[in-house]
Structure 1
């Protein structure tokens, strides 16, 4: 799908860093960047990008000693103008021509992506030492628009990148209306004859490590966006032009739609059957050739190949739906951790596409094969989307997760033997986005085996013993989705130090863990959170003559949009308790203050799970 980045950063991926001038001795590197962009006739871009990376520590040499540029030659003409090492004594050591390497961009197996038009240029800098500066200047010219007849630039600068200076100058015709938005930059506008010049200069940006689960820099950091798209409808219709043509149903598509929906009269159920068939039968793989990164393949070709990327999935599903008279609109979306509404119209805000079915008021993501038809993955939830049909394109937002429909329930029966070991069986059920996580576990069971996966998960929780996870169809879309497991822990619970109860193997990490981490580690930035109901329903069978000396009392805690409850039932040799935590923030972007508001309930759950029972022989 479309990449969210400025043209220059689309090409430049220089591992850790870059440059500057004055720097403290303990700074491993610093970066100085200058970008000159010019808008050519046809609104194509011509760019010169210059970067200097000053090396302040030996560890930085391996990071910046080779700079890589993945270039899509279908869209860009690319050349390296300068490349040398600037020694601390002022000498220039040029990069030899045979040390500028050209190769195919390796495919990305985890993303199932192969970029056929892309070439990787690698500059290998010579004779590097602490105090030297890596310098390069590249030029590239856009040959063809990535999407439609306009351009858009978008980048965010993380505070880990150690910029001492960063400046972008855009030269454009005076009569070209530009949309621009930025944060953390100073802006200057000049007019020279029939041209306009916009200069953006990064304000001082102190170094800061990013926090775990932090939202995207676009939501709260330094960024700039510039676009010649007049409005969101122009963006949407540029995408629609290619995607609509690819998703018109052929006779073959119509015949398949009839086969999939045979015996189903209800239109909603027909749509569900089509979505499920697409998710099950079209695997994710993307060969990017020409405009293939932005325009889907025809539905017939996707069907024949039985693979495709997100655009191809929605194109085929949309064609199948059209064959049954069901309208489906495209919905461009971002899978990143950005939740703020885009500030100006542009293509690079989005990197994924799903479908909106207006007749049913529902979104669906046919690329997400572990999801049931009308459940969006967490990455799709509470996100701004650009909904597109033949008439218009408009920004909307997908529904956020809610605790009532996103539930993780673990029921476990444990038995403590007279020898002190413990065994048990569990059933973990999930609804909503949690069910997606469980289906992914089921897929891993099919690949690795239930015994092996259970062993790995138990080790991650620092438990020794054996276990297994029962196989279950990962494409069973009924909810709640259930997985069963058994385990036997070799720990002796009757001798030595006490231990928490082994609620293992843990198949899904509950959502409250991030909120607890935010409070414990003192997060300063907004972070990604999700609403969820988490419950542990545990029955513990004791050996004859044994009891628990420190059995907790029932309790309940409410804290903002979170609540905790603990119920306990002691009937002698059998003890049953239910721990339940509901966290229900209204959005999937939480602030440190939001985490603090839920702290009491989350802490109560963490304390309940961390409880160490003290077993005692009855007198």
Structure 2
């Protein structure tokens, strides 16, 4: 059950960690939000003005630094921001206004009056003076949306984690009755009223006593489990995909330049799959990633000429260029919106913020592709895209998800031969073959490594493992985007075992690898998960052959072991014949999907504890 952690909210995680630090009773809080007021005033065309007003009280010294400065990010192209007030309120009641010199604006802008190249996101930082324990910082600002992100549409969602203390939360949405919308308030009191053709929704919430979190893993996050609200004029996620496609689809035009490029890249490839792979590889490795993706002011791809001239683009640009190149070769594709964060189930109220990434889908191959990743082979997806709900821009399919790697596709096989001399020195060879995610991540790690530093790196690996030694590595070329990889390391170690004299040694990898057996067994000492976590399958096979010196008499070797449950298997065989010791260990993780409930994590931990005993067992000698 290989794990992936996605940190979804730094402030929440920090608060949760500290909330869990206290031994009993209520958690020790760094700060509390004494009030948070948000007001959204919508116009008939769905443009809007939003006002935020909040005050945070500092309770611990460690919270001072974070409270001193607050940031407001917005799209300078379609929004404007106005500070209504900003001040420090001292514990004795003295109010200190934030001086004009304490505002810092960082903006992405073009030359002279031209538009910025990729991102128009601006950040206004407010620095509060004289903040200490017991003081409060107060900020209120107005954000005016000059035009909707999507014409005629508006959506917003927010959550108030239980691990944070909120004394008073008030959220208001004021919209024309004629503007259709759907909404929900989770664990918030609601008041609804109509007057003069406008609908006014008011939601309130209070959480004066923050809850302690026992959560260890944030890789799966269900926002609907938290108090909060969602409001949207979109009727469905299909409508969000269609709204994006309206302006993205015309950008994927097959110009003469695109046709010529596609023909050049596809030359020599015979099947649609081979051509699609070549086109994907070219975009993934030649168009670098830059700028923001789905978000305020960032929902329309650039023109392909611009992308090709600059060899750069965001996720929409990568997906649009790949779509055009595929179309030039007669291969149908569409773009798909996904969440590249911790949301594996989209909230029932369709909100644009729930999807923040764009990839491609090729119907003829029934395959997704994410060309923003320069290290992911064709036919695979980056970890952040796996098992996610996908909103196809064309031919929308309800409930469609990106695939999970099939069981057995992620595999590492390591074969080690060791010759131990009479003085404890050792020479040998390590042979490693990888497939699937293991191969892709190893290629990515080695792709930029200078060849002239390889021996130095190998020596450093041995040094970090506590050995004095050297080695020579022979690597396959890691640059190709392939789902297989192979390398060998010849080594010479001065102190593998203590000889002459009695002693013991453990059987474990003598070189760093992507997925050793002991990596799977880390769950034996990890805290138990109390929530769903991201996980996937994998197989690790380790074979060892030790040629022992004549002055080493083996007293005992570890026992064989076979363990198995519904989704895990561990097998270990130890054979001593003369002065040759052979070992084979196999750990099979057959986790079928990429979401593991707490019960599965608990079963994994119990299994790992048993298997770890065998892996830790030593060879005793005299």
TM-score under structure 2 length normalisation: 0.87
**CA distance in 2: counterparts of 1:373 and 1:572, whole angstroms:** 48
Q: Which residue of 1 aligns with 2:507?
A: 501
Q: Say which is worse superposed, 24-33 or 312-321, in terms of deviation.
A: 24-33
Q: Deviations over 1:517-549 (max 9, x none)?
A: 387412222222121112222222222342443
- Indicate if the aligned counterparts of 2:561 and 2:572 stay in contact, CA closer than 8 A: yes
- Alignment correspondent of 1:252: 257
Of 509-518 and 412-421, more deviation after overlay is shown by 509-518
Alignment match, 1:143? 146
Verify: 1:364 aligned to 2:369, yes or no.
yes
Task: Return closer, same or farther for 1:104/1:488 CA change in 2, 3 Å cut-off.
Answer: farther
Residue in 1 aligned with 2:477?
A: 473
Q: Is the Cα contact below 8 Å between 2:189 and 2:205 reproduced in 1?
A: yes
Are 1:578 and 2:581 an aligned pair?
no
1:511 touches 1:532 (CA, 8 Å); kept in 2?
no
Shift of 1:458: 4.8
C-alpha deviation, 1:437, in angstroms: 0.9
- Match among 283, 286, 292 for residue 288 of structure 2: 283
Q: Is it true that 1:233 corresponds to 2:233 in the alignment?
A: no
Q: Does the 8 A contact of 1:370 with 1:474 survive in 2?
A: no
Match of 1:349 in 2: 354
Listed as ranges, the matches of 1:159-558 within 5 Å are: 159-181=162-184, 183-202=186-205, 204=207, 205-208=210-213, 210-218=215-223, 220-286=225-291, 293-389=298-394, 391-392=395-396, 394-446=398-450, 449-455=453-459, 457-458=461-462, 465-467=469-471, 469-494=473-498, 498-509=504-515, 513=519, 516-517=522-523, 520-558=526-564
Query: Would the aligned equivalents of 1:249 and 1:299 in 2 still touch at CA under 8 Å?
Result: no
Q: Cα 1:555–1:543, aligned 2, differ >3 Å: closer, same or farther?
A: same
Cα deviation code 1:282-315 (max 9, x no counterpart): 2223378998732222223222222222222221
Question: How many Å apart are 1:91 and its aligned residue?
Answer: 1.6
Is 1:85 the counterpart of 2:88 in the alignment? Answer: yes
Q: Aligned equivalents of 2:472 and 2:530: distance in 1?
A: 40
Deviation (angstroms), 1:327? 0.4
Determine if the alignment matches structure 1 residue 44 to structure 2 residue 47: yes
Q: Which residue of 2 aligns with 1:4?
A: none
CA distance in 2, matches of 1:430, 1:610: 24
Query: In the aligned structure 2, how far is the partner of 1:246 from the partner of 1:393?
Result: 23
Conserved 8 A contact 2:37-2:169: yes
The 1:115/1:570 distance shift into structure 2, 3 A limit, reads same
Given that 1:518 and 1:592 are in contact with CA atoms closer than 8 Å, whether structure 2 keeps it comes out as: no
Task: Measure the CA separation in 2 of the matches of 1:181 and 1:87.
Answer: 37
Is the 8 Å Cα contact of residues 340 and 384 (structure 2) preserved in structure 1? yes
Q: Deviations over 1:397-434 (max 9, x none)?
A: 11123331122222222332322244443233222222
Q: Matches of 1:268 and 1:567 in 2, distance apart?
A: 42
Provide the C-alpha distance between the structure 2 equivalents of 1:186 and 1:580, rounded to a whole number of angstroms. Answer: 55
Native 8 Å contact 2:359 2:371 kept in 1: yes
**Structure 2 CA distance, aligned partners of 1:25 and 1:126?**
28
Q: Deviations over 1:189-241 (max 9, x none)?
A: 33334222233334634143651454225274444332111222221111112
User: 2:38 is matched with which residue?
Assistant: 35
Give 1:26 shift.
4.6
Contact 1:219 1:339 survives alignment (8 Å): no
TM-align CA RMSD = 3.4
Residues 1:26 and 1:195: Cα distance change in structure 2 (over 3 Å) = same
Instruction: Give the whole-Å Cα distance in 1 for the aligned partners of 2:133 and 2:26.
Output: 13
Decide whether the 8 Å contact of 1:302 with 1:308 is kept in 2: yes
Aligned counterparts of 2:611 and 2:42: Cα–Cα separation in 1: 57
Task: Say which SS state the counterpart of residue 226 (structure 1) adopts.
Answer: strand
2:440 and 2:482 in contact (8 A); partners too: no
Q: 1:284 to 1:195 in 2, by over 3 A?
A: same
Aligned mates of 2:338, 2:295 — CA distance in 1: 22
Taking the aligned partners of 2:363 and 2:214, their CA distance within structure 1 comes to 43
Q: CA deviation at 1:63?
A: 1.4
Aligned to 1:5: none
1:576 CA displacement: 2.0
Whether contact under 8 Å (1:371, 1:435) holds in the other structure is: no
1:590 counterpart residue number: 596
Alignment of 1:116-135 (within 5 A): 116-135=119-138
1:501 CA drift (Å): 3.3
The alpha-carbon distance between structure 1 residues 115 and 258, as it changes in their structure 2 partners (threshold 3 A), is closer
Distance 2:546 2:160 in 1: 53
User: In terms of mean alpha carbon deviation, does 418-427 or 296-305 score higher?
Assistant: 418-427
Indicate how the Cα distance of structure 1 residues 202 and 135 shifts in structure 2: closer, same or farther if over 3 A, else same.
Answer: same
CA contact (8 A) 1:169 1:198 kept: yes
- 1:48 offset after TM fit, Å? 0.9
Change (3 A) 1:103 1:226: same
For each residue in 1:540-568, what CA deviation from the matched residue of structure 2 results, as whole angstroms up to 9, or x when unmatched?
Answer: 22223424433123221112211111123
Once the two structures are TM-superposed, the CA of residue 14 in structure 1 deviates from its matched residue by 12
Contact map agreement 1:444 1:453 (CA 8 A) in 2: no
Counterparts of 2:381 and 2:275 in 1: how far apart (Å)? 19
**Does the 8 Å contact 2:468/2:495 carry over to 1?**
yes
2:613 pairs with one of 598, 607, 613: 607
Aligned position for 2:4 = none
Distance 2:132 2:482 in 1: 60
Please, which moves more after superposition, 202-211 or 34-43? 202-211
* SS of aligned partner of 1:41: coil
- Match 2:58 to one of 55, 59, 68: 55
Question: In 1, distance between residues paired with 2:224 and 2:565?
Answer: 27
| Per-residue deviation, 1:393 | 6.0
Contact 2:265 2:279 in 1 (8 A): yes
Per-residue deviation, 1:118: 2.9
Residue 333 of structure 1 deviates from its aligned partner by 1.2
